[in-house]
Amino acid sequence: MIFMGIDPGLNKTGVGILEGERGRVSYVAHRLITTDSKKPLPVRLGKIISGIAEAVVEYKPEIAAVENIFTSNNSRSALLLGQARGAIIGALIAHDVPVREYSALQIKKAVTGYGKAEKEQVKKLVEMHLNILFKGVPLDVTDALACGICLTYAETGGIPV
């Protein structure tokens, strides 16, 4: 089964593609969708939508997970992140890909066993789960892969979420 994990962001959206079955998860691919902060919001959201759509067409995931919005003191940032998440979820649904949502705490706990792990710890454990080193790969991508690992375990009955 093919799984897609997504770490949403307006500037950078990480996408991780995994293959998994009960008790086993393996790396397939990743990508980073970036947008130009100088461009208007609709253009940036359009780039995110087309990047997600391209990944769906290429890898044909059977299900996807998107990280939930964390609460923030900066309401503008939270609003922009919410719009990016909405664009991502809309692109997935438009391609008939079911969507699950997980909090950062759930994702970190599934991958590291500790819900408050630091990003670098998450990256190291993602590397261990997938038996691959991600040198020079942005944390947005390893966070997306972590989200995909969480989804894979939840859907296949691996490690409980």
The 10s digit of each residue's pLDDT in 56-112 is: 999 999 999 999 976 667 788 888 999 999 999 999 999 999 999 999 999 999 999
pLDDT digits over 121-148, tens only?
Answer: 999 999 999 999 999 999 999 999 999 9
Which residue is catalytic, options 19, 58, 127, 140? 140
Instruction: Examine the residue annotation and report whether 143 is marked as an active-site residue of this protein.
Output: no
Instruction: Examine the residue annotation and report whether 54 is marked as an active-site residue of this protein.
Output: no
* Tokens 């710890």 -> residue: 121
What are the domain boundaries of the chain? Answer: 2-156
Instruction: Examine the residue annotation and report whether 7 is marked as an active-site residue of this protein.
Output: yes
Q: Which CATH class is domain 2-156?
A: alpha beta
Which residue is catalytic, options 19, 54, 58, 67? 67
